[in-house]
Amino acid sequence: MTPKEVLDFAKKNKTKMVDLKFLDFPGIWQHFSVPLHEFDEDSFEGGFGFDGSSLRGWQPIHASDMLVIPDADTVVMDPFMAVPTLSVICNVVDPITKEAYSRDPRNIARKCENYLKFTGLADTAYFGPEAEFFIFDDIRFDGGSNFAFYEIDSVEGIWNSGRAESPNLGYKPRHKEGYFPVSPTDSQQDLRTEMVLVMEQLGMEIECQHHEVATAGQAEIDMKFQPLVKMGDQLMWFKYIIKNVAKRNNKTVTFMPKPLFADNGSGMHTHVSLWKGGVPLFAGDKYAGLSREALYAAGGILKHARALCAFTNPTTNSYKRLVPGFEAPVNLAYSSRNRSAAIRIPMYSASPKAKRLEFRTPDPSCNGYLAFSAILMAVIDGIENRIDPGEPLDKDIYGLSPEELADVPSAPGSLEESLNALKEDHEFLLRGDVFTSDVIEKWIEYKTEGEVNPVRLRPHPHEFMLYFDI
């Protein structure tokens, strides 16, 4: 839309308020709202001011003033506000220089798309994330110097099979058996469909929805692939819609990778492909129908995977899912059809348009703009430097002997380990000024001081079970 078309759209929908959305450094949507009479065509150049020092990982207090500049192409009516509210995603700029802010994740994604075009390798990178999540009925958590606890509940949780529910009807998915029985065992079909319908109301293309493997309401809704920045925008709407639809149904949603012990965690298998002039570049006559470029792209992802995890698996909880010997793809190899490999080549369709890489290590706690950009920079590096991914691993990785596994590299075992990998391996991210040294340094600093150290310093409740009587 043009700015004038946005204003006409607002009037047509009887808009009273305009909600300005933008992303903080870790990946949570922030917003503030202005009455429609404060929003005009000049707003798309002059923007609106806010305090950048109050956001995690952003400005110091002595340089706090920042601007959000609305992106006219992102305008929709917010589906959850009681008063008609126009929602627009914004870019963040410096109010003095008017330059895009280096730590704005959306700016990094925009630079990444531009850099891809600059290389001449392709003009479009498509991303299709499969973000899993849990729908719970109750969550309580707290902690102090002398206590810590969390307690999750779900009417679907197998632990409630013996609870007096007056009556307890018994249809509760057993651990690892939620993929995917029909109702009444799957009690959330209508809720997920409601989420899909709201997404489609906003113009998002949805491919399917279903219950996932775990008990207690693990779910997945799949979006059709989109270009990098657009998919970054959609992933934010995806989380926003799912959480708010759940809330109005008296449910709560988490995208934590591993909220439950002894059952599957939530991953975000991420499909990626390159196109140029409307032609898919990853289809060819090599292994699994891939092109040479696609194999090099896989080589780039595998080479940089340990550093990528600092963005694709960016929480301490991420590494409760990425544990060797269990379901998550921690082994850095590629294969057709084999879901135990970090990179899978889906074989559902023989169409060249469907040929893509599926990077299975990421999880939905990530900041999509940063994760997709980092993956694309690894893909570009792989193609430009002809990085050989080695031989495919078509065996069941979980059935390999220790001797066979010794030659298969593994994903980091902790957030601290992935941040250390990023310290050692980030030059590929700096090309084209996509990621800056400031962004890398601040990400490592924020994650270490704000997440790694606070978790490391606190006793874990299970340690009392293990050690109290020592």
Give phi and psi for 349, each to the nearest 5. -135, 145
List of long-range contacts for 432-439, beta carbons under 8 Å, 24+ apart: 432/111, 432/112, 432/114, 432/115, 432/118, 433/111, 434/108, 434/111, 434/112, 434/115, 434/373, 434/377, 435/108, 435/373, 435/374, 435/377, 436/102, 438/102, 438/103, 439/102, 439/103, 439/108
211 and 133 in contact (C-beta within 8 Å)? Answer: no
Based on C-alpha coordinates, what's the Rg of the chain?
23
**Does residue 331 sit in helix, strand or coil?**
strand
DSSP 167: S
CB of 321 closer than 8 Å to CB of 257: yes
**Identified catalytic residue from 358, 363, 381, 416:** 358
Length of the chain: 470
Measure CA 261 to chain center: 22
Strands 85-93 and 218-223: unpaired
Give the other-Cβ count within 10 Å of 72's Cβ: 17
Check the CA dihedral 75-76-78-84 and report its sign: positive
Per annotation, catalytic residue among 104, 360, 363, 416: 360
Task: Please indicate whether residue 460 is annotated as part of the active site.
Answer: no
- Give the angle subtended at the CA of 156 by the CAs of 151 and 157, to the nearest 5°: 40
Closest CA to 358 of 73, 49, 195, 127: 127
Quick check: is 51 catalytic? yes
Tokens found for residue 369: 């703009």
Catalytic residue among 24, 104, 113, 132: 132
Of the residues 38, 51, 165, 438, which is catalytic? Answer: 51
- For the question of residue 424 being annotated catalytic, the response is no
What angle, 0 to 180 degrees and rounded to 10, lies between the N-to-C axes of helices 415-424 and 292-312? 120
Is 62 catalytic? The answer is no
Active-site choice (104, 130, 222, 416)? 130
**358 part of the active site:** yes
Catalytic residue, from 269, 321, 344, 426: name it. Answer: 269
Alpha-carbon span 125 to 27, nearest angstrom: 21
Catalytic (active site) residue 140: no
d(CA 13, CA 76): 10
Which residue, 310, 326, 461, is CA-closest to 371?
A: 310
Q: Catalytic site residue 38?
A: no
Which residue among the candidates 71, 156, 220, 363 is catalytic per the annotation? 220
- Amino acid at the residue 320: K
Structure tokens at 323: 């544990």
- List the catalytic residues: 51, 130, 132, 212, 220, 269, 339, 358, 360
